[in-house]
Chains A and B, each alone.
Chain A
Amino acid sequence: MKITQIAGFLGCGKTTLLLRLSDELAEGGKTKVALVVNEIGEIPVDGKVIEESGMRVKDIGGGCICCEVASTFAKTVYSLYKDFSPDHVLVEPTGVAVPKQVKQAAAMSGRDADIVLGPAVVLFDATRPAELLDMDMLGRLVVTQVKDADIITISKADIAEEADMAMAEEKVRELNPRAEIFRVSSFTGLGFEHLKQDILDWKEGA
């Protein structure tokens, strides 16, 4: 069971990407995919929207899985392993989660379940690169998310201006030269085959 997180700041398009990616990974039912969605803000809007797509989804509320409810996350992963045995678990943390900590929490579930860690995929919203990095307190958080990423996808490539996408790529490359960086669009499908293959091929620590 491979656990891959789809992280990134609030509003960067995580849920939309998750829905399309899970569908592509599932390959028409050949592969079992489960989703774990963590939201702040008390009510699970994303979880409910995903549920309507017919995917197996576990919603974690009451805090952030990178800190407050990390142990709930580990227990949720274990219960998915026990009850559903998916090949892939895609995790959508809150938009303010720290990817490295989410990975640590996921690794904790490996004490009881046979898991391998997938990459930390971090979405960077190409429609507002300057805004994201310039935000007072949140700019530091976005920088942390980018630095923690194994793969950075420049999201919303179908609607972003070319200049903004180029700026986004340049900024994130400066912050994280080791990550693979490419553009995606959850609407046109741009970059999805690439992302899917990266997840399938990923070997943590390799």
Chain B
Amino acid sequence: MDDAGENGHGCYTEHGVSGYGVAIKLSHDQTMDEAWIKSMAEEMMVRVADLCMEHGANAIGHIKAHVRTSAGTVKADTIGTSHGAYSQGTISQPVHELYMAVNSIVQGIKEHVVAEATLDGIHQVAEERGLHVIKEKEHTYFDEFDFVKSDEEFRREFQEQLEKSEG
């Protein structure tokens, strides 16, 4: 049972499904609270889905985003424009910056078209919402960015260090 290799021709290709992922770092001059971030992320998911359909997609598998800030994380997704978008997660305090990974899985259009629709959707909503795109990298996760640990993560690691040194 050998892997088919790196040609990207798995079952999803046979079914006309294409995927595209991108990581971005965004900032805003004003602080962004949980409600604002959730609403922005949901709007972005629906916009990407809309653009994919406009570009000729037959169906949206899902458009998903993982938003990470120093004060918590949010996950947002849509399974199609008529279904709206959904988000969950907690941002404990307003922030100026956020990291976002977006994954689009769509049926009926090629990967480069999914990429175009995804990037256009992100940029359109970012611009409308007054967000600045600080960094953007395709085909990767924001772990590869210069990410700063969340407060919770920092506290947990600090606590572990204390326990080790005391133990």
Q: Footprint of B on A, CB under 8 Å? A: 9-11, 39-46, 48-49, 52, 62-64, 66-72, 74, 94-98, 105, 108, 125, 127-128, 131, 135-138, 141
B3 touches A137 (CB 8 A): no
Q: Tell me the count of chain B residues lying within 8 A, CB to CB, of chain A.
A: 44
Given contacts A40-B10, A64-B11, A69-B4, 10 further A-B contacts (CB under 8 A): A10-B17, A11-B60, A41-B19, A41-B103, A43-B140, A48-B101, A128-B80, A136-B108, A138-B17, A141-B11
Q: Can you name the residue of chain B whose Cβ is closest to the Cβ of A63?
A: B10
What is the bound-complex CA distance between A44 and B143, given in angstroms?
Answer: 11
A48 touches B141 (CB 8 A): yes
Q: Can you name the residue of chain A whose Cβ is closest to the Cβ of B141?
A: A43
The residue from B15, B141, B143 contacting A96, defined by CB atoms under 8 A apart: B15
What is the bound-complex CA distance between A105 and B64, given in angstroms?
Answer: 27
CB within 8 Å for A70 and B15 given contacts A95-B61, A128-B83, A135-B58: no
In the bound complex, residues from chain A placing their C-beta under 8 Å from that of B10 are 40, 63-64, 66-69
A94 touches B12 (CB 8 A): yes
B15 touches A138 (CB 8 A): yes
B64 touches A135 (CB 8 A): no
What is the bound-complex CA distance between A44 and B140, given in angstroms?
Answer: 9
Does residue B23 face the partner (Cβ distance < 8 Å to A)? yes
In whole Å, how far is A161's beta carbon from the nearest beta carbon of chain B?
Answer: 13
* Total A-B pairs, Cβ < 8 A: 123
Quick check: which of B32-40, B71-79, B121-129, B159-167 contacts chain A, the rest being far away? B71-79
What is the bound-complex CA distance between A131 and B82, given in angstroms?
Answer: 11
Please name the 7 residue pairs, one residue from A and one from B, whose CB atoms are nearest each other, closest first.
A41-B19, A10-B61, A11-B79, A43-B21, A42-B21, A68-B10, A64-B10
Could you name 14 residue pairs across A and B whose Cβ atoms are closer than 8 Å? Answer: A11-B77, A42-B21, A42-B139, A43-B139, A45-B21, A46-B64, A48-B101, A63-B10, A67-B4, A95-B105, A108-B1, A125-B79, A135-B107, A141-B15
Q: Can you name the residue of chain B whose Cβ is closest to the Cβ of A68?
A: B10
In whole Å, how far is A67's beta carbon from the nearest beta carbon of chain B?
Answer: 5
What is the bound-complex CA distance between A69 and B165, given in angstroms?
Answer: 43
A96 touches B65 (CB 8 A): no
CB within 8 Å for A40 and B4 given contacts A67-B10, A97-B11, A127-B83: no
CB within 8 Å for A42 and B103 given contacts A10-B79, A71-B3: yes
Annotate B63-95 by CB proximity to A: 1 below 8 A, 0 otherwise.
011100000010101011001000000000000
What is the bound-complex CA distance between A68 and B19, given in angstroms?
Answer: 15
What is the bound-complex CA distance between A39 and B17, given in angstroms?
Answer: 12
What is the bound-complex CA distance between A129 and B103, given in angstroms?
Answer: 24
A66 touches B11 (CB 8 A): yes
In whole Å, how far is A100's beta carbon from the nearest beta carbon of chain B?
Answer: 12
In whole Å, how far is B124's beta carbon from the nearest beta carbon of chain A?
Answer: 20
In whole Å, how far is A62's beta carbon from the nearest beta carbon of chain B?
Answer: 7
CB within 8 Å for A41 and B21 given contacts A52-B73, A98-B11: yes
A45 touches B11 (CB 8 A): no
